[in-house]
Amino acid sequence: MAALKFAGMDDTDSEDELPPGWEERSKKDGWVYYASHDGMKTQWEHPKTRKKKRCAGDLPYGWEQETDEKGQMIYVDHINKRTIYFDPRQAFTVEDMVLKPKRYDGNTAALEILQGRDFSDKVVLITGGNSGIGLETARSFTLHGAHVILACRNLSRASKAASLIQQEWHKARVEAMMCDLASLRSVREFTESYKARKLPLHILVCNAAVCTRPWSLTEDGLESTFQICHLGHFLLIQGLEDVLRRSAPARVVVVTSESHRFTDLLDSCAKVDLALLSPQKKEYWSILAYNRAKLCNILFSNELHRRLSPHGVTANAVHPGNMMYTSIHRSWWLMTFLFSLARPFTKSCMTPLSGYSKCGAQTKS
């Protein structure tokens, strides 16, 4: 104590409280340092505890780090329209130590999964990114700096979704492109348009799907559920395979479903019957068609990973979670009614402030 008193450090009540004449500051990378105005010096260690600290995690929601005209670091609060020179994370600094990996569960949202990650040098392509899980995935990647492209059938709705994300963050890089998975011609046109832009592709999320829709054939003469849920994505990945390889390390994420377990592709002789994938109307059942398409997703993802992983491209099939309310069932009134009854027990897909989907996308990190 005598040494502290001699150094002028005994006038504080708390061990972490700074002595008179000292100021706590932070670097751009989050590390905290201490400046002595009396001694005209700076140091990494706390003047009393001799411990190093850093600011943990990302800036709070709505905050952004910028530099003013004098080159000094400032922090902008876009929500409350204010600017300060003090890092708001300094109120929650942590000591320099090895942190245990965080565990995630069914209540974890996509933004939590991506916290602390920088995707500013990544290009992400998401099919069906204008609603549901796809929109929340797009939003999460965009708010972490990625250049996100929404590949959707309805260009108007996709552009509106992109606009919503841009309203949330003025620096958001998100755009919409036309891609109708129910048309193999449209998929080919999309891949050619994408490659013509000379963009890399680091993450491809095959999210778009339909379920419980009446039997119908696409313009290619194939059953629509099978083509939209699987075959369209198969062709999309084939068309962009060379882009993925050049962009390595890259990954493909195929959103599938646990319901793949409730079907098979075998006939009565235990042989693979490809006719089951695009059945005639009299043999069609919408739930079974969806389950078969999801089984194809998994088989394809496994084989894709085997072939492309030596080239730096990984492939993963993910189940987004059960008891989740989305609009995938909108084609059948009965399923919509059943989902409405179960909605109080499902994960919420709406955020009151923004109207965004907030469920299930945690599997796409």
Give the 3-state secondary structure percentages of the chain, helix then strand then coil, rounded to 5: 35, 20, 45
- Range name among 193-202, 321-330, 342-351 with the lowest pLDDT average: 342-351
Tokens at residue 32, please?
């905290």
Among all chains, which residue has been given the structure tokens 């005994």? Answer: 10
Active site residues: 290
What is the C-alpha to C-alpha distance for residues 359 and 365, in angstroms, rounded to an integer?
A: 14
Confidence of residue 8 (pLDDT cuts 50, 70, 90): very low
What is the C-alpha to C-alpha distance for residues 123 and 192, in angstroms, rounded to an integer?
A: 17
> pLDDT tens for residues 280-308?
998 898 889 999 999 999 999 999 999 99
Beta-sheet pairing, 82-84 with 73-77: antiparallel
What is the C-alpha to C-alpha distance for residues 314 and 311, in angstroms, rounded to an integer?
A: 9
> pLDDT tens for residues 225-269?
999 999 999 999 999 999 999 999 999 999 998 877 778 777 767
The Cα-based distances of 353 to 28, 107, 138, 261, 357 in angstroms read: 30, 19, 17, 37, 11
Q: Which of 36-50, 74-88, 162-176 has the highest mean pLDDT?
A: 162-176
